Amino acid sequence: MAEQPDQFNTDMTDDWGAAMAEQQTATRGASAAIANAAEARPASIFEKLIPGTGSPGATQDIDLILDIPVQLTVELGRTKIPIRQILQLAQGSVVELDGLAGEPMDVLVNGCLIAQGEVVVVNEKFGVRLTDIITPSERIRKLNR
């Protein structure tokens, strides 16, 4: 992934920290409200959770973003080389990358690591078999680096 300026990483860390603190405060407040409830009601009065009977807006909300294009990148590795060496490249030149042979490739969406995978060939076309999905907590941890 591209290196982000320290300012960006610091801002993202502060934003995530503030969001996590706000969520914890809200969760504590909800727990206290539940604990202080005057009357407990039997579960039978709540609606049955049946697929498709939820709020109609929930399905429509996700439909709004399903067609938004994103950039998917599969990265074999990276390297830094001076412009002088780039200008000397020709057909057949080999550029050494920091990735090792057999190592999983990074799958990025809009520059954000979301998974790792391995190369596969299907009907003479290259593809990527996802072997590991990056969890949201792992993504946040990588932002802090």
What is the pLDDT, as a whole number, of residue 137?
Answer: 86
More confident of the two residues 47 and 82: 82
Strand, coil or helix: 129: strand
Instruction: Let me know if residue 139 belongs to a domain.
Output: yes
Instruction: Let me know if residue 36 belongs to a domain.
Output: no
Instruction: Let me know if residue 26 belongs to a domain.
Output: no
Instruction: Let me know if residue 144 belongs to a domain.
Output: yes
27, pLDDT greater than 90 = no
- % residues pLDDT > 70 (the chain): 61
Region of 101 please: left (phi>0), alpha (psi -120 to 50) or beta: beta
More confident of the two residues 14 and 117: 117
What is the pLDDT, as a whole number, of residue 4?
Answer: 47
CATH number of the domain to which 111 belongs: 2.30.330.10
Instruction: Let me know if residue 8 belongs to a domain.
Output: no
Q: At 113, which helix (H) or strand (E)?
A: strand 112-122
What's the domain count of the chain?
Answer: 1
* φ/ψ (deg, to 5) at 57: -70, -25
Which structural domain range is residue 91 located in? 67-145
pLDDT in tens, 58-111: 556 788 888 999 999 998 888 999 999 999 999 999 998 888 888 889 999 998
140, pLDDT greater than 90 = no
Give the whole-angstrom CA distance, residue 125 versus residue 119. Answer: 10
What is the pLDDT, as a whole number, of residue 91?
Answer: 94
CB 115, CB 130: distance < 8 Å = yes
131, pLDDT greater than 60 = yes
Mean pLDDT for all residues in the chain:
75
Strand, coil or helix: 131: strand
Only one residue has tokens 């973003």, namely 65
* φ/ψ (deg, to 5) at 28: -65, -40
